[in-house]
Chain A
């Protein structure tokens, strides 16, 4: 039996004693949702007049109706796969073709209650379908934009009428070089897709979700991040794909965890609670979490803001020098939020020696944060990208720094827009959690933690996830994201992600006259 076909163990000891379990392949496999009643836009009701003739099974091309082998009756419809009235045009509409008229179609009332302005029900469902199938979402869902009324949701691509001849989808590169510094001895690390996973700490997030994130990162030759909760030993087999984060609380930061990493990230601030630091509620501070963070069980743990050793760019440089000395090969990343002077921060970080400047905008974040901070403090990432990119260009250092952005990046279209505005790549956080079944109810901190088992340390709730299911969902998500991104580049006639950077001429804004000569 190969590792790929084994069930991935859930216990840490098994992981460490069987390094082959760390093997993971970049293969799309169907990963159905883990709840009995998955949420879709439409619901189909089968009346008791159904005679199980199987006509619906025969004509439905979306897998809504099935009659498993050995069953006498057609089972309850998988209505979340239904594309709705649109199907009528195909001539294969189950409602119209049922000989008994036993089927009826309605909009799912629960679907309307999902999500919010930024993550609309359609965006959530699109993500779930990508995570299940590894393919682009179906057209009956508005999968490209949300309904926030600004930023990415008002930006559109302007696709040329003709695609340059000779450009083939399979030749389009989505690679991203993370070390752009010239005359720098550190490795020129490249990742296969222009994104990596955001930091979610041990203590805030189910360890199984964390493991799946890094396994998917390994499959896609990209990175995940420890967050600030320390470096559990279960991550060691994936150390080449795990960023060690050094945050203000310095939880679990040790010489060996710094030396283990290919990238070390300093978290100066985070978009969800800029200027406020982190806070792990006492209930989540279990014995395992406390041991990892070298803290007392059950006490609330604060990651204060800011780094009290850093009050200037010169101090920042000393900080980076410290890590550069401890690990002679790691790339250095500085994660900052988006204040008024974010351009100065970015150029300062470059001058201090950072290879990667990671800007986290105000509307993102996965962990619990005060609502007042999420809505009001620091600027949305859409503004920061454009400003920082232009500033770095003007300073003549744009090609020596990798600009990574996060904070509200939901889908491949957001990724492409961010890069066209001037980013090199992005960090994903919430999108990965949604793929694992997050519905953004926002109750990460209530009671025993996330009721859906994603952001919790509760022993019973942890069992709601398995590592292999989560891994497959995330591998599928990455695959679908890349497929969409390649499709966008192909339609734009651009041969690589690197060539898309700063191409604002391929964008238009619905609220603007778009009358400027926008050729770069």
Chain B
């Protein structure tokens, strides 16, 4: 039996002051300097730690990041001089998709490797766009169940990459056809080729080292691979665009190569395979309304892996009414199933994978695995402030990050995502990530639930959903 996959995480506190959500402001001019200051009684010892840090100059500490917002000090202060506020810097984190909450929870996971836990139920919106309009199923009495993260059963999060034969045949006891190359990733994700503005040498190096430690694959452009020098490993997937075919030994160590889609992509893939025998060659294409048709055609041409790229918020690249990945993937997966060639191509979904639940939901919608990009940079303390886009100085000095620190943070993040995927798979009663693909029966969609529960009572929705 192969060894069980486990990610070893270790506490990696942030190297610079992160932004917290809540802070306590005091109006000291009104302070009566009473002997029973509520700050002494902080259950979490934040003020005491703050005083120690100021006195002894020990490391980083920020009570705005660490304040739990319990309000005990605010409500007990004799002179009522304490006020809780939402940190305006916190509200500026991220963007409309990568909300401040997502940035903060990503930092927590990168620091601890743990699963974010809280009490008192769910406090967010009832539903939302895209993946927020899906709920995953759980098993109860009437179906077999699984033990989940703390249980006794091993839940396998590994997935295969490559074409599978529809059938095998023998000639005198020997296989007639050589099975196509196949790779296995212990997690249903790959690291994507991050945007140029973030691709500083220590960042790329950290990502490659983290991918190597985790055993997952990382898409990296050949020029970046060249800069890595001796650190390059078999986990790298050269991402070749502009009509290249991976010649000149640039893909020597790679087990898989990815090239951009084009009119002559089939020929390009053939040329690439000729240059790099035994490698899987994937095709990266833009997600649009024609993507399903294109992926079916690629599969029919013998392409082994299709990487469908949505925009960074998970939407199609369409000027009018772009659909979310949720619907785009379902269409592509459905078209492949209908053509009876689903197992002949691996479907990799990119763009907008911000949380571990997005990974699980994209797989339910039909992807075999996903790629992750922005969360990896968030793990390295990025705030998505956009200053690098404007050629301004990076607020967190990403270029100067210590590669070992960055790697540890990324490994922690993936450790947390792995645990959370186990939680979802366990609840669904599924023991293998492979079996989650296209399992829409283990999922509930907003529009279906609305129709069943409310449609028969209240008629049609005003928004037509």
A interface, CB within 8 angstroms of B: 35-39, 76, 109-110, 112-113, 115-119, 148-151, 153-154, 268-269, 271-272, 274-277, 279, 302, 304-306, 310-313, 315-316, 336-337, 339-341, 344-345, 348-349, 362-380, 382-387, 390, 407-408, 430, 433, 438-448, 450-452, 455, 461, 504, 507-509, 511-516, 518
Contacts and interface: CB of A to CB of B under 8 A. Distances in A.
A210 B426 CA distance: 31
Nearest to A334: B141
A37 B123 contact: no
A119 B122 CA distance: 10
- Sorted nearest first, the 5 A-B pairs with minimum C-beta distance are A150-B126, A275-B427, A444-B119, A116-B123, A275-B138
A475 to B, nearest CB: 23
Contacts of A461: 43
B77 A306 contact: no
Contact of B140 (A279, A337, A442, A514): A337
A277 B150 contact: yes
B459 A380 contact: no
Given A275-B138, A364-B121, A304 B147 contact: yes
22 contacts: A36-B76, A113-B86, A118-B122, A118-B123, A154-B126, A277-B150, A305-B145, A305-B426, A306-B141, A311-B141, A311-B145, A371-B117, A372-B423, A374-B122, A386-B457, A443-B68, A444-B118, A446-B44, A446-B68, A451-B70, A509-B457, A516-B459
B189 to A, nearest CB: 16
Interface residues of B, number: 78
Contacts of A370: 115-117, 420, 423
Interface string B346-374: 00000000011100010000000000000
Output the residue of B76, B121, B136, B455 with the most chain A CB within 10 A: B121
B77 A36 contact: yes
Contacts of B443: 340
A450 B39 CA distance: 17
Nearest to A504: B457
Given A311-B145, A377-B136, 13 more contacts: A37-B74, A39-B75, A113-B22, A115-B123, A118-B122, A276-B426, A363-B126, A368-B119, A377-B135, A439-B69, A440-B120, A443-B68, A445-B119
B458 interface: yes
B119 A372 contact: no
B80 A36 contact: yes
Interface stretch (B202-210, B256-264, B446-454): B446-454
Contacts of A306: 139-141, 145
Output the residue of B428, B452, B453 with the most chain A CB within 10 A: B453
Contacts of B462: 511-513
A44 to B, nearest CB: 11
B448 to A, nearest CB: 10
Contacts of A513: 458-462
Contacts of B179: none
A341 B429 CA distance: 14
Contacts of B22: 113
A375 B357 contact: yes
A349 B143 CA distance: 14
A192 B377 CA distance: 57
Nearest to B151: A304
B71 interface: yes
A35 B140 contact: no
B442 interface: yes
A405 to B, nearest CB: 13
Contacts of A154: 126
A369 B420 CA distance: 12
A516 B71 contact: no
Given A275-B148, A339-B139, A387 B452 contact: yes
Nearest to B43: A451
A441 B454 contact: no
B166 interface: no
A449 B166 CA distance: 56
Given A110-B74, A370-B420, A372-B116, A509 B454 contact: yes
Given A37-B75, A371-B105, A514 B135 contact: no
A276 B115 CA distance: 13
B118 A369 contact: yes
B125 interface: yes
Contact of B118 (A112, A150, A442): A442
B125 A148 contact: yes
B453 A336 contact: no
A379 B135 contact: yes
Given A443-B119, A446-B68, A387 B453 contact: yes
Contact of A36 (B43, B75, B86, B115): B75
A345 B140 CA distance: 8
A518 B75 contact: no
B78 interface: yes
Given A345-B141, A504-B457, A451 B119 contact: no
